[in-house]
Amino acid sequence: MPRLAPLDMDQLAPAQQAVVDKMLSGPRGGMRGPFESLLRRPELCDRVQHLGAYCRFDAKLDRDVAELAIILAGKQWKAQFEFWAHARLAREAGLPDDVIEAVRTGSPIESDNASYVAVAKFVREYFATNRVSDATYNEARDALTEEGVVDLVGLVGYYTLVSMTLNVFEVGLPEGEAELLD
**Per-residue pLDDT tens over the stretch 44-96:** 999 999 999 999 899 999 999 999 999 999 999 999 999 999 999 999 999 99
121 and 151, same domain (yes or no): yes
Report the interhelical angle of 146-168 vs 63-76 (nearest 10°): 40
Task: Provide the number of structural domains found in the chain.
Answer: 2
Residues 6+ apart with CB under 8 A from 112: none
124 and 100, same domain (yes or no): yes
78 and 154, same domain (yes or no): yes
What predicted TM-score, i.e. pTM, was given to this entire model? 0.95
Rounded to whole angstroms, how far apart are CA atoms 115 and 83?
20
119 and 70, same domain (yes or no): yes
Q: Is residue 2 part of a domain?
A: no
Q: Is residue 108 part of a domain?
A: yes
Q: Is residue 181 part of a domain?
A: no
Contact 18, 49 (CB under 8 A): no
Q: What does the DSSP 8-state code read for residue 151? A: H
